[in-house]
Amino acid sequence: MGKVKPGPLSRRPDNSAFKQQRLPAWSPMLTANTVLPFFYFMALICMLLGVWLLLTVQSTQELKLDYTEAGTCDICFEKRKNVSNADQPCSCTVVLSIKKAFKGDVFFYYGLQNFHQNLRRYMDSRDDAQMVGRKNNLKSPSTYCLPFDKDKNGLPVAPCGAVANSIFNDSFTLRYMAPSGSVLVPLLRKGISWYTDKNIKYRNPSNGNMTLPQVFEGTGRPLYWQKPVYDLDPHDATNNGFINDDLIVWMREAAFPNFKKLYGVLYRANKPFVNGLPAGNYSVDISYNFPVKYFQGRKEVVLTTLTWFGGQNHFLPIAYLVTSCLILLIAVILTVAWCKFGKSGRNMEE
Amino acid sequence: MSFFGLDCVKKKERELERKLRANDREYNLSFKYATNAIKTSKYNPFTFLPLNLFEQFQRIANAYFMFLLVLQVIPQISSLSWFTTVVPLVLVLTVTAAKDATDDINRHRSDNQVNNRKVQVLIDRKLRSEKWMDVQVGDIIKLENNQFVTADLLLLSSSEPLNLVYIETAELDGETNLKVRQALTVTGDLGEDIEKLADFDGEVRCEPPNNRLDRFRGTLTYAGQKYSLDNEKILLRGCTLRNTEWCFGLVLFGGPETKLMQNCGKSTFKRTSIDRLMNVLVLCIFGFLAFMCTILAIGNCFWELNEGSQFMVFLPRQDGNDAAFSAFLTFWSYVIILNTVVPISLYVSVEIIRLGNSFYIDWDRRMYYSRNDTPAEARTTTLNEELGQIKYVFSDKTGTLTQNIMTFNKCSINGKSYGDVYDYTGQRLEITQHTERVDFSFNPLADPRFIFHDHALVEAVKLENPEVHAFFRLLALCHTVMAEEKKEGELFYQAQSPDEGALVTAARNFGFVFRSRTPDSVSIVEMGQQRSYELLAILDFNNVRKRMSVIVRSPEGKLSLFCKGADTIIYERLHLSCSKLMDVTTEHLNEFAGEGLRTLVLAYKDLDEEYFNQWKQRHHEASTLLDDRESKLDELYEEIEKDLLLLGASAIEDKLQDGVPQTIEQLSKADIKIWVLTGDKQETAENIGYSCNLLREEMNGVFIISGNSPEDVRQELRNAQTSMKPGEDSVFFPESTLGKGVKVMADEAVNGEYGLVINGHSLAYALESSMELEFLRTACMCKSVICCRVTPLQKAQVVELVKKYKRVVTLAIGDGANDVSMIKAAHIGVGISGQEGMQAVLSSDYSFAQFRFLQRLLLVHGRWSYLRMCKFLRYFFYKNFTFTFVHFWFAFFCGFSAQTVYDEWFITLYNLVYTALPVLGMSLFDQDVNDVWSFQHPQLYVPGQLNLYFSKKAFFKCALHSCYSSLVLFFIPYAAMHDTVRGDGKDVADYQSFALLTQTCLLFAVTIQLVLEMSYWTAVNTFFVLGSLAMYFAVTFTMYSDGMFLTLPSAFPFIGTARNSLNQPNIWLTIVLTSILCVLPVVTYRFLFIQLCPTINDKVMFKVRQAKATLPPPPRRTRIRRTSSRRSGYAFSHAQGYGDLVTSGHYLQRPALYRSSGLTHTGRTTTGFSPMGRSAGYSPTGRPQNPKVPDVEGTSLQMYRTIKEPSL
């Protein structure tokens, strides 16, 4: 541009394929030769996928138990209705029976229904900078945490915000009613969160050789918590502070109001659990703390085995099968339409 | 100078009469007349920013984004960061402002250039060189030869005898012939005497500034006497002084008040119909947005009442907000979130696409004219897609359709026709550039530019054939051309009309060189011998006489009368002895006219000395008569111009530009209606109409509207309507209901093809508000319309009329200043560049050098631009609606809390990065079929005119489609994920994973949709599509990486999500399923549509596919046929259409006009409408094996070709 070449044809445009819009190109068109085979092929693929997935999903086992008011928990349920009883502990037990042994790894989940972890203000009410161990944020949490940023004494809350404050705080003990007597089912309570969360996203603030309580000196615990953050796991000192697995799992907010979160994995080193959970009766001792009556929620425990495909969700296999039928149906209709109108090419005459 | 501009804008009271006094600035200043400075620019440095921003914020979209920005900074509402809006908004504003600024700078430059031209002004009794802009009303200025006239002047005196000046008015009305102006004797006497001029204190009272070029009324009071002033004494700005050494003039109107500027029309900001549609749609979308937000706000209100109040333990409300207030806030939060239905990137992209397509026009080699090195230029970059929707083309004639070059092409002398070239077998050859030319080297005075191919004529001249000599002698003597001989042997002719120039030039080359003239003699060089003829009388041309004669005395003393004129007229005055010659000449004339040539018949007569003296006496008496002078003179002329002896006929070609008939044919195949608006005479215009295929022989009728009163015109229009739609009553419009409400007139079907010719007088009546609908209706029923003798303003009025009542897109094309108003009025203005005047180009939107490029501009560039723009819009709305609706569905699951479904970064980058390039690539490269096929099938243009590709309906379909897609894109992932865990039992139903999944599904779905839209896959497109997907994953993994999180934890909270969820098979199975379900209905619908009711595009694309096996069709090139005799449509139509004509009933319906009896024929009626059938001028070119025998006996009247009438 701007250059003025001398000569009679100085303003003649370049003869490049781009400027003359002659770039070589491929012009696809929806023809019967491509569309119809493609449709039949897709129908077949979806069918195969659907069947395969269905078989996979069928091979998993799942057991769900709503314990909100079940068994002896109705007392606790009533008790938790009232905020003034919040400090009083309450335990209850529910029983469940497994008809067919759960083979392989068994996962223990707690589930909540109608709990909106996905409200905008709820989700915003956290301070990732604090939880990654930034010292500034530890002492002066982000304003997003309001009103859970300071406790009654005006101390900064760690971890701050509505999400951490509302942590699910029921705890479970699973017992196997073996013919020989009740056996505690060992659950691994660590390694249940994403590797990235455990190691990168959440870090305790470090300060030389100070112990955790020292580090968290000068911060208050969240309003609804009974224990401070550095004392969440009494059994394992490394599972405390912001890197506590239960806290991390909770902090990964669910997308929908009904969700389940991993509580523990069956420890299969010892008999009788080497092959999974044997059939029989089980009881779950619950330390019933989390109130759900307020929001008309339900609580449940879920025991399940998994495949590569995940848990027992029938939606995808069925969806694939339905889609396959749909494609097949459409393919047939298109074939008929093509034979009737398009095949002769008469419809393309002007 | 801008202050002056402002002054005249502000002037409120209308001037009723202009008073001024020469050489009295003080007096004249008291009226505050505009000075001679002009201003076409819009801004100055200080007003640019506020004015431009003000203009830009008048765009709904810009204002809307400003509003969004305000919302986003309110913390309670803000659901997205403020920068998501600011960055694009600033970008848009800057780009647009920069463009406006450059445009305005260019206007400033051209203003400055004009304003700073120098002219000599008489100030303080001295001539001083002043800038144009400093010239004021009442000043006396001196103009020299070839200078532009500075302002509207009253001519005072001139260097030429009788105070004449010659001016060229091409800039004003497009006519290049010279016109004469004459000063009053009383002022003419002032001469060149500066003292006298300085003492001149005449007072002028005249009409206020107006735009009528052909009228002026005023009086001059000088030395106690009153003189009346008319148009003949006025020099208008824009004219050029010719053949006049100098002249003095008194400035009457300056700058913006000159008739030229008053005729320029207002420059308005042009917008395309898609723009307007988009504004409507955007309004609808706002409504829809408000609707969605209201629903969600109500939902929020209920949710807060039922559930939120119970959830308050975990999430207390902000101080004192109740459910209703929360709903109110939610409403605005959702306004922000859902704003992507009208994304600002839409406007940026639209501008980029238009810019790109404008560059294609600039770059197109096939619109480059090498002869004067002029490429096509898109001067406006915002109107491209409208080029694909043109329904009406308004064209100027002179310089646009024609080259405004007349060439002497053929002649018939003494019954022998010259001009065609035959090979040795007697076959007529088509004349091309390579045909051997006649060598005129024997004649040192020959014009080297003159080209002739028939050697026989030159031989005849050399053999001293007396008739041939007489023929050329006549041409050299009988005219009103002026000769200028600056150097010995270098002759320049100044002709009043180009055809006269052509005839004299022809005579010059054949050895009869017109050298100079005095008032009573004409000197010519006859075959090398200088001879001077005494010029005894000029019996000048006028519209009624349609002939011109001179009476000369040869050096030998022989008295002769030479006459040339329209065939019908001359034939009536021929001596009976010529009847045989007449028949042969008639044949030739028919042949010439059939080829679209302008013919003149030449005749002469030797006069008796005695008789002439007596006649001269009577002539003198008659010319001094006070009353009835005209008719007496006419009688005398009649008397002497009789018993003429026929010499022959000349045929002049009004050279069309290359490829004009083909272009017009192509455009009319594309269902584009072409109206020719010309300042030229009716006959000329009509003739061109035939030769360029606008009016055709096989048309069922051509209506001539030339009434002289409103009633006549109305009646003629009605008659025309009745004959086009015989079934209908003659009362077409219940006129009361026409009233004020502007209605849209639908197209009407008529029983055949018709043409309409209307002249300026009638047009003036027809454009009155009471009749305009009648006129429009008639005109629109016709296939083509020719308006002749129209003023620049009328041109604009016609365009406005069509724009007003027809919902169509119009294009005006012209080359001169007289076309400026029309170019500005039409939706698209096209200027023919490379000519002398640049006014038209400067005010045009597109410019190129040749009319024939119009077909490429419309059928290729326009069509593609429209197609691309529509595809772009459809796809863009689809992708954004889909994007947005997912938020809507999610709202029902997140307590209407205005939580977004996607990651905030994805929202920011979706339009700017992830989907921008693929869709831009599509809208810059896409073509359904290539240019060759576009030319082959002009019908492909029709969908654009009907707005088929993007309309409210198409938009609605888009919205429905995206609604479906969004349902799939939300609910499939929801169902697949809500109760699922990863293969290792860990969480994958969390919000972040779900966000990632949905956005990935969305991106795949819209990309595949784009793949389906694209019909032209270049490497660039592929790169863009794949690159954008790759970009998405690259950016996503980066944004979700450890490093980014650790630097800014709160900005990148999605750390690890991509790694932890995209490695899950069920995630990918979900993506595949959503993609299949999104594509399925689209492919099904399209395939079925192609099978059941394929569009013209499908058909042509199908053809292209079939033709790919064989060779593509050869490109249809408009061959350069400069002297081809087969160019004219008249000849063409006969080559193939004649049989149809005879067998069809039309032939019989038309009045058969025989002219073998020629003498009694009166020609076409000039008043009253006549359904004119032109029949049967059989052209032998159609049947070369039998070249000269016309097999149709009855031939109709030909157009009488006439020389131009002098002056306006």
Q: What is the pLDDT of residues B255-301, one digit of tens each?
A: 888 888 876 655 566 778 888 888 888 888 889 999 999 999 999 99
Q: What one-letter code names the amino acid at B776?
A: L
Q: Worst-scoring range by mean pLDDT, A206-215, B505-514, B1081-1090, B1106-1115?
A: B1106-1115
Q: Is B435 flagged in the annotation as binding?
A: no
Chain A residue at shortest CA distance from B1108: A27
Inter-chain contacts counted by CB atoms under 8 A, chains A and B: 278
Q: Is B242 flagged in the annotation as binding?
A: no
Taking the Cβ of residue B993 and every Cβ of chain A, the question of whether any pair is shorter than 8 Å is answered with yes
pLDDT, residue B1193, reads 32
- Chain B contact set for A296 (CB, 8 A): 307, 310
Q: Quick check: A4 pLDDT over 50?
A: no
A94-115 average pLDDT score = 91
CB A253 within 8 A of CB A123: yes
pLDDT, residue B1118, reads 43
Smallest CA–CA distance, residue A99 to chain B, in Å, is 22
Instruction: Select the more confidently predicted residue: B726 or A241.
Output: A241
d(CA B294, CA B303): 14
d(CA B798, CA B766): 10
pLDDT, residue A55, reads 94
User: Which of B307, B1064, B1087, B1092 should we substitute to test contact with A (largest number of A Cβ atoms within 10 Å)?
Assistant: B1087
- Specify whether B627 is catalytic: no
Which band of pLDDT confidence, cut at 50, 70 and 90, is reported for residue A73? confident
Taking the Cβ of residue B992 and every Cβ of chain A, the question of whether any pair is shorter than 8 Å is answered with yes
Chain B residue at shortest CA distance from A326: B1080
C-beta atoms of B1087 and A35 within 8 A: yes
**What residue spans of B234-322 are helical by DSSP H?**
259-262, 273-303
Q: State CA B331 to chain mean position distance.
A: 49
What ipTM goes with this model? 0.95
pLDDT, residue B1110, reads 60
**Tokens representing residue A64 in the block:** 């769900």
pLDDT, residue B1139, reads 29
Nearest to A196 among B1016, B1020, B1056 (CB): B1056
Q: State CA B931 to chain mean position distance.
A: 22
User: Which of A42, A198, A313, A318 should we substitute to test contact with B (largest number of B Cβ atoms within 10 Å)?
Assistant: A313
pLDDT, residue B1178, reads 32
Q: Please, which residues 35-54 of chain A have a Cβ atom closer than 8 Å to chain B?
A: 35, 39, 42, 46, 49, 53
Q: How many Cα atoms within 13 Å fall on the side-chain side of residue B1060?
A: 28
B815-823 average pLDDT score = 82
- Chain B contact set for A295 (CB, 8 A): 307, 310-311, 314
Which band of pLDDT confidence, cut at 50, 70 and 90, is reported for residue B953? very high
pLDDT, residue B1158, reads 33
Taking the Cβ of residue A307 and every Cβ of chain B, the question of whether any pair is shorter than 8 Å is answered with yes
d(CA B1162, CA B656): 29
Note the pLDDT tens digit of each residue in B410-457. 899 988 888 888 877 777 777 777 777 888 888 888 888 888 888 888
Q: Is B398 flagged in the annotation as binding?
A: yes
Q: Identify the sign of the CA torsion B532, B536, B538, B539.
A: negative
User: Which of A11, A198, A298 should we substitute to test contact with B (largest number of B Cβ atoms within 10 Å)?
Assistant: A11
Nearest to B894 among A119, A295, A334 (CB): A119
Cis peptide before B1187 (omega within 30 of 0): no
B648-655 average pLDDT score = 86
Nearest to A29 among B972, B1083, B1101 (CB): B1101
d(CA B410, CA B698): 26
pLDDT, residue B994, reads 95
Note the pLDDT tens digit of each residue in B92-137. 788 778 878 888 888 888 888 888 888 888 888 888 888 888 888 8
Of residues B396, B420, B845, B903, which has the active-site annotation? B396
Q: Quick check: B837 pLDDT over 50?
A: yes
Q: Tell me chain B's radius of gyration from C-alpha atoms.
A: 37
Phi, psi of A246, rounded to the nearest 5 degrees? -65, -40
Q: State CA B948 to chain mean position distance.
A: 24
Integer angstrom CA distances of residue B187 from B147, B148, B167, B196, B423: 21, 22, 19, 10, 64
- Chain A contact set for B976 (CB, 8 A): 313, 315-316, 319
Q: Worst-scoring range by mean pLDDT, B111-120, B686-695, B825-834?
A: B686-695
pLDDT, residue B620, reads 84
Q: Produce one character per residue of B1095-1115: b if its CB has 16 or more CB atoms within 10 Å, e if not.
A: eebbbbbbbbeeeeeeeeeee
C-beta atoms of A118 and B1101 within 8 A: no
d(CA B598, CA B1199): 8
Taking the Cβ of residue B1067 and every Cβ of chain A, the question of whether any pair is shorter than 8 Å is answered with no
Region of A329 (left: φ > 0; alpha: ψ -120 to 50; beta: rest) is alpha
Closest CA to B839 of B823, B857, B855: B823
A285-295 average pLDDT score = 86
C-beta atoms of A25 and B990 within 8 A: no
Taking the Cβ of residue B405 and every Cβ of chain A, the question of whether any pair is shorter than 8 Å is answered with no
- Chain A contact set for B974 (CB, 8 A): 256
**Tokens representing residue B44 in the block:** 């100055």
Q: Quick check: B814 pLDDT over 60?
A: yes
Q: Please, which residues 114-143 of chain B have a Cβ atom closer than 8 Å to chain A?
A: none
Integer angstrom CA distances of residue B385 from A218, B93, B803, B950: 68, 22, 18, 11
Give me chain B's average pLDDT, please: 81
Nearest to A310 among B363, B972, B981 (CB): B981
Q: Which residues pair with A276 in a beta bridge?
A: A103
Place of tokens 């109409």: B689
Note the pLDDT tens digit of each residue in A176-200. 988 888 899 999 998 899 999 999 9
Smallest CA–CA distance, residue A53 to chain B, in Å, is 10
- Chain B contact set for A136 (CB, 8 A): none
pLDDT, residue B793, reads 82
pLDDT, residue B334, reads 92
Q: Worst-scoring range by mean pLDDT, A221-235, B112-126, B744-758, B962-976?
A: B744-758
C-beta atoms of A196 and B989 within 8 A: no
Q: What is the number of other CB atoms lying within 10 angstroms of the CB of residue B866?
A: 30
Q: Running DSSP on this structure, what letter comes out for residue B148?
A: B
Taking the Cβ of residue A265 and every Cβ of chain B, the question of whether any pair is shorter than 8 Å is answered with yes
A33-37 average pLDDT score = 91
Q: Please, which residues 61-120 of chain A have a Cβ atom closer than 8 Å to chain B?
A: 83, 105, 107, 109, 114, 116-120
C-beta atoms of B979 and A320 within 8 A: no
Q: Quick check: B768 pLDDT over 50?
A: yes
C-beta atoms of A249 and B316 within 8 A: no
Q: State CA B953 to chain mean position distance.
A: 30
CB B257 within 8 A of CB B8: yes
C-beta atoms of A8 and B364 within 8 A: no
pLDDT, residue B428, reads 77
Smallest CA–CA distance, residue A54 to chain B, in Å, is 13
Q: Is B678 flagged in the annotation as binding?
A: yes
Q: Is B397 flagged in the annotation as binding?
A: yes
Q: Is B275 flagged in the annotation as binding?
A: no
- Chain A contact set for B1092 (CB, 8 A): 337, 341, 347
Q: Is B679 flagged in the annotation as binding?
A: yes
Q: Produce one character per residue of B401-410: b if its CB has 16 or more CB atoms within 10 Å, e if not.
A: bbbbbbbbbb
- Chain A contact set for B971 (CB, 8 A): none
Q: Quick check: B244 pLDDT over 50?
A: yes
Note the pLDDT tens digit of each residue in B221-237. 888 888 888 888 888 88
pLDDT, residue B1101, reads 86
**Tokens representing residue B1079 in the block:** 């594509």
Closest CA to B566 of B1203, B1200, B1204, B1205: B1200
d(CA B513, CA B450): 13
- Chain A contact set for B921 (CB, 8 A): none
Note the pLDDT tens digit of each residue in B450-462. 888 888 888 888 8
Q: Quick check: B1136 pLDDT over 60?
A: no
Q: Please, which residues 214-243 of chain A have a Cβ atom closer than 8 Å to chain B?
A: none
Taking the Cβ of residue A209 and every Cβ of chain B, the question of whether any pair is shorter than 8 Å is answered with no
Residue B620 burial by CB count (10 A; 0-12/13-18/19+): exposed, middle or buried?
exposed
Taking the Cβ of residue B375 and every Cβ of chain A, the question of whether any pair is shorter than 8 Å is answered with yes
